[in-house]
Each structure stands twice: as structure tokens, then as C-alpha cells.
Amino acid sequence: MTSARPKIDFDAKIPNNVDLASDRKLQRALERWQPNFLDWWGDMGPAVDTKDVYLRTAVDVGREGWAHFDHVPMNEYRWGVFLSEHDPDRKIAFGEHKGEPVWQEVPGEYRADLQRLIVIQGDTEPASVEQQRFLGATAPSLYDMRNLFQVNVEEGRHLWAMVYLLHAYFGRAGREEADQLLQRNSGSDDSPRILGAFNEETPDWLSFYMFTYFTDRDGKYQLGTLKESGFDPLSRTCEFMLKEEAHHMFVGTTGIDRVVTRTAQLMNEHDSEDVAGAGGIPLDTIQKYINFHYTVSLDLFGNESSTNAANYFTAGLKGRWQEERRKDDHVLTDDAGAVDAVRDGQITTSEVPALLALNQDLRSEYIGDCSNGLKRWNRILEKHGIDRRLTLPHVGFNRHVGAFADHHITPEGRMVSTEEWKANEGRWLPTEVDKTHVRGLMHPVLEPGKIAGWIAPPTNGINDKPVDYEYVHFN
């Protein structure tokens, strides 16, 4: 049984801190899965033909180890498996197992729930790679193209991280789930990705920045709650993933910074809000893109009132954002919380047991975080002497999940009829005209240091390299 299969030099090929070289179970699982992953990457990963890309590879969890930069051919990228440092004294911080030592193995009682949580998280990782597959072809600069690929390989590594958990802890069922993570595809009719937002295409770079700002931020919050998990390997995996996720959001934040900056420059140059004709993206369009991506991401948090979230919390599987910094009993059986509701045509709140309000709790944290970006972009507008401000729409706007799903609510938070909604939808959400305009701006700029006209250059390069560094080499 052991002699026939080709040996893979695991530690060299797969950087890891999980002792892969001596774990027969993991080796066997990965030997089968890794070729399928490479096939998937070839078929569904970045479509641009490059020689190598200046990428960061995590080779260890320490400060030095996880920021190792070099030019690497994409298909030779070394996807690794990393867990943050092990804390032997860690205790479960919440729920009915509060105070007990964290679990190093999957408790059978929670196998199904944990597997589900990991599969859903894992499904989003390759999905975004699929959604962004063709973006490289229209990159506004080599710097941006490199960032896109960095995001892509790291989403790939996050898939590896989830697959590691499935392989290492969930037996045969886990291996089957890991296989299916490669078999579902974003936007596929037959076997789509699990969450709706991950079946939407990312057709242009403005969408990409919006996605990395808003949708990846949802990922940050989900990972943050899983980091609290009583299942220690999941917790440690997510903690390390959060470090990488921070870079993705940096790409989104600074990407939108640069779009807004360029728009403001063009507005001042032409003394007009209508910068479309000058090859820019009007603030109106930016606002509509914000409206769309923000609200689609809000839907990812699920229903305001959720028994699943309550069960996960009580079982110790998924905590709250920054659980241990919160000042309450961490059990919540006696507390109440308010959730958004629509009653008698009025937007209001309902009081429910705190355990049922955990999705809303997490969404509120997320909304607070999102508003930081708006402040930042409005400061840019202010600095350019422009009075117009960008805003986050009302939480009930354009929602398809939860209390607002069956209602039409304007960005200002006014409930309106279907007719009024239909008449104004094009003022609030990107229209075909808007999208066509944005797509029309997407032309690749492949010369080092050059930048497309609709976006400002970055202020700094990657890893102290200059902005005009040759981040991507082509064949």
C-alpha cells in the first residue's frame, strides 16, 4: 500500500507547520487532492499568461516567514498549510463549554456543524479566484496585476487551509467535501458556489476593488468569529488567514482611494462632475458601485435572527467578533438583543434573545468597519476641494436576505413602493450604461510604472520596491 504511490517531498513542495512529513493521513489525502487543485488552478485560475510574478509566499508563521517575496511562476507557487502558534492553555471563551480546554480533535457531537462551517468558508475562497479569472487581462498597471495575483494565490492558500482541516480532522467525509470544493464553480448552472455573492462575476477593476473592500471584509468578519472557535485547529488556521485577508482589504481600500483621487483630479481639471467623457469614473457611478457591493455583502451575514448562529455560539463553534474583549458573561442565555425588522410598513427593531441576534451583532461590527473607508474617501474629496460626499446606503437598501428582503428601501432609508423603486433603481444601482462605461475604460497597461487613465498611481510599491518595478514578467 505504501510502496506503490509516488512520493512527494511534502515539506519542500508544501510549506507547512503541521508536520506534514510525518502525517500519513494528510499525505494520503493531499496526494490525491493536490493534482486536482493544480488542474483546477490551470482551468479556473488567472487566465493571463505570465512568466513569473513578484509574490509573497508564506513559508512560516513568524514575522519573517510569512512575508517572503520573490518572482515565482504562478503554477509553481508553493501553497502552504499554516496554523498560528499553539497556545497549550487556551480555553473555550464562550457558550456552554466556556472555560473548558479547547478541542484538538473534532468533537463527534459537532462534526456536522463544524464541517458545514468549514465547507462554507472554504467554498468562498476558490470562488473569488474564479470570479476574477479574466481581470488580469485588463490590469491598469503591473502593480495592480501583481496585487490581483497575490490576492488570487492567497485565496488559493485559504482554500488549502480549509482543505487541510477537512483532510486532517473529518475523515472520509472530509475528503469528499474537499473534492467538491473544486467541483463547484462560480456562476456554474450545474454546481454553483454555495453563497450567492460568489456567483456574481467580477467584470472590471472597479468591481474588484469594491469586492476586496466590501466582500473580503465579510470574510474578515467570518474568519474573526471562527478564530474564536473552541475547535483549536480551526481557530489557529483562521488567525493566520486573517493576516493575509488584511492585505486583500488593503488592495480594495487603496484601489478605491486611487479611483476617487483620479476622479477628483479630473473633476477639478474639467470643472465638472461628468468625468466620463474625460476617461474617468463619475462619483455617481462610484456611489452606485458602493451601494451594490456593500448591500450584497450585507446579505452574506444571513438573517437578522438566526437559530444556526445561536447553536454555533452555544456549542462553542463560532464566537462573536473579538469575543474575549467583550464585557458580558459570554453565554448570553439571559440577555436580549434588538434586530432590524419591518412592521406595519415601518422600519423598526424587535427584541429577541441575544443568542438569536448574533448575525445582526456581527453585521453591525462590519458596518462600523465599512464606514471607515467612506471617511477616507471623503477626506480625499475634501482635500481636492470637492463638496460632494460618498455614503453607505441604509442597511435595508437592496437587500435580498433577512428582514428587508421583501421591501423596497431607498439609500436614505425610506420605504417605497415597487413602482417608485423601479423608477429610481437606475439612480441607485449601476445601470448597463454605467457598467458599459466602466468596462470600456478597462485596457491593460503593461509597461512598468505606467498607469491607466481612470485611476491614480499608488503611492508606494510592494515590499519597498518602487512603483515602476517590474512586478510581472511575461513570456
Partner 1 sequence: MTVLEDAPATSRAPGSEPVPQVDFDTDPSRYRHWRLEIEGETAWVYLDVAEDGGLVPGYELKLNSYDLGVDIELYDITQRLRFEHPEVRSVVLTSGKDSNFCAGANIRMLAQSSHPWKVNFCKFTNETRNGIEDMTAHSGQTWVAALNGTAAGGGYEMALACETILLVNDRSSAVALPEVPLLGVLPGTGGLTRVTDKRHVRKDRADIFATKSEGFQGPKAVEWKLVDETVSRKQWDSTVRARAAEAAAASHRPTPSGGLVAQGITLPPLQREVTEDAITYPNVRCAIDRDARTATITVLGPEAGTVPESLERIHALGADFWPLAMTRELDDLILRLRTNELEIGTWLIKTQGSIEGALAFERVIAEHSGSDWLVNEIRHYFKRTLKRLDVTSRSLIALIEPGSCFAGALLELALACDRQYMLEGTFEDQDGSAEEQDPAQIVLTESNFGAFPMGNGLTRLQSRFYGDDETVEELAGRTGERMTGADAEEAGLVTDAPDDIDWEDEIRILLEERASLSPDALTGMEANHRFVGPETMETRIFGRLTAWQNWIFNRPNASGDEGALRRYGTGRKADFDRKRV
Point out which residues bind partner 1 (CB under 8 A). 1-2, 24-25, 28, 105-109, 111-112, 169-172
Measured from the Cβ of residue 8, the count of other Cβ atoms closer than 10 Å reads: 15
Nearest approach in angstroms of CB 28 to partner 1 is: 6
Beta carbon nearer to partner 1, 308 or 349? 308
| DSSP state for residue 336 in the 8-state scheme | E
Q: 342 has which bridge partners?
A: 347
Of the pair 109, 432, the CB lying nearest partner 1 is at 109
According to DSSP, the residues that pair with 70 across neighbouring strands are 55
Assign 387 to helix, strand or coil: coil
Residue closer to partner 1 (CB basis): 163 or 455: 163
Contact 41, 132 (CB under 8 A): no
Q: Under a CB-based contact definition with an 8 Å cutoff, are residues 156 and 129 in contact?
A: yes
The residue (of 107 and 457) whose beta carbon lies closer to partner 1 is 107
Least Å distance between CB 435 and partner 1? 48
Backbone torsions φ then ψ of 416, nearest 5 degrees: -130, 165
Q: What is the DSSP string of 172-220?
A: HHHHHHHHHHHHS-TT-SSS--SSGGGGS---SHHHHHHIIIIIHHHHH
Q: Which three cell numbers stand for residue 106?
A: 473534532
Cβ proximity to partner 1: between 1 and 12 the closer is 1
Identity of the residue, 172 or 327, whose beta carbon is nearer to partner 1 in the bound complex? 172
State the minimum distance, in angstroms, from the CB of residue 107 to partner 1: 6
Q: Are 142 and 136 in contact (CB under 8 A)?
A: no
Rounded-to-integer distance, Cα 7 and Cα 377, Å? 52
Nearest approach, Cβ of 137 to partner 1 (angstroms)? 43
Judged by CB, which is closer to partner 1: 111, or 220? 111
Minimal distance, residue 261 CB to partner 1, in Å: 53
Least separation, in Å, of the C-beta of 117 and partner 1? 16
User: Minimum Å distance from CB 104 to partner 1?
Assistant: 12
Angle formed by the axes of helices 432-441 and 283-299, to 10°? 110
332: cell is 448570553
